[in-house]
Amino acid sequence: MGSSASKAALGATTNEPTEPEQKHLADLIQYINGTNMSVVHLADVLSEKTGSSSWVVVFKALVTVHHLMVYGNERFIQHLASRSSLFTLHNFLDKSVVEGYAMSAFIRRYSKYLNEKSLAYRLMESDITKIKRGADGVMRTMNTKELLNTLPVIQIQFDALLNFNANADELTNGIIHAAFMLLFKDSLRLFVAYNEGILNLLDKYFDMGKKQCRESLDIYIKFLDRMTKLAQFLKVAEQAGIDPNDIPYLSQAPYSLLEALKQHLASLENKHDILPPYGSDVRWRHPSEMEMTSEMNWQLSNCTCISTIWDPVSVSSISYMKSLQGFYLQSSDHALGVPWFLKVLRGLIKLQASDSEQTDL
């Protein structure tokens, strides 16, 4: 590693309780983006810094590593993912200063997230936050087996991110604030990949066998739980001063969808005593158009919409009432054996496919 890069790595991880200086981070980005520049020694230097007893040095080293993962050449995270172990900070505790107790807890959680981010790269051979998005993106074009293997990996990384669990009043210094900002950026990109994977999974659900349906339903239920936690995380982001226009608005997914997924699995398992099968003559209560549109409105406010759990699209402000009118089904369609919401889903995909673009996060 060049002397300038060594100097930048040391400069980014000083014992001053401020976030790593941008000039040092910029020098490191320039270094690892250089052709054939080895990242091994740089990773070694930063890893060694995490062995310090000072929470300041350790936290700044982790923030620097995360910054390079997000903004640097892929070779950096690729190398980290190849290591047998990355950060072993689950017992880290700085007792030398009062602030060390609180910051040590965040260091333990933050290092776990970076470990999971690296592990996810190893398992997927790509950074989930940087994969191609949209109608022809990675998550939307996976087959069922790939989805069932990949979505749990995303869920684990997402859990580790949300478990950072900082309140706005706990972002008391530049270091933890810098860490939170990087987590916020990752959270949006992870959400898009997660969201698109769930869209693909639901579109395949009614063609799956019993075992795959059971796995898919479990994944979807966990998805709903994580969306509740994500909403709490985004609320902290707004309280921390992030522009509200950069924060997605999330609303609850339709309850009727979850019930229909459960019903389909029950029909495959011949548990007709729970709910009648789709092919029966029973007429279900059909949600009103207002219920559908009010519950199906997840969007990024910066003119990039995440329309429900369904489809990330880049459009100007849209009216879901208008968009859904052409796909709203009468209750008589239930007798056809095809769930109304799946028709709505496929209709929305067809409607918005021409406008679907990768979100710029």
237-268 pLDDT, tens digit per residue, is: 999 999 999 998 887 777 788 889 998 999 88
Distance CA 207, CA 219 (A): 16
* Of the residues 125, 158, 181, the one at which a domain ends: 125
Distance CA 12, CA 7 (A): 9
Residues 6+ apart with CB under 8 A from 89: 50, 58, 107, 108, 111
Tell me what the mean pLDDT of segment 208-233 comes to: 93
Classify residue 221: in a domain, yes or no.
Answer: no
Is the pLDDT at 286 greater than 70, yes or no? no
Classify residue 155: in a domain, yes or no.
Answer: no
Classify residue 97: in a domain, yes or no.
Answer: yes
Domain range for 22: 1-125
Distance CA 255, CA 252 (A): 8
Q: Which strands, in side-by-side order, build the sheet including 311-314?
A: 248-249, 299-300, 304-307, 311-314
Classify residue 92: in a domain, yes or no.
Answer: yes
* Of the residues 125, 140, 175, the one at which a domain ends: 125
Find the CATH number of the domain harbouring 84.
1.25.40.90
Is the pLDDT at 173 greater than 90, yes or no? yes
**Strand, coil or helix: what is 325?**
helix
Q: What is the pLDDT of residue 111?
A: 97
Q: For the whole prediction, is pTM greater than 0.75? A: yes
* Of the residues 109, 125, 141, the one at which a domain ends: 125
Q: What is the DSSP-derived secondary structure letter of residue 348?
A: H
Looking at residue 18, its amino acid is T
Query: In total, how many domains does the chain have?
Result: 2
Q: Which residues pair with 340 in a beta bridge?
A: none
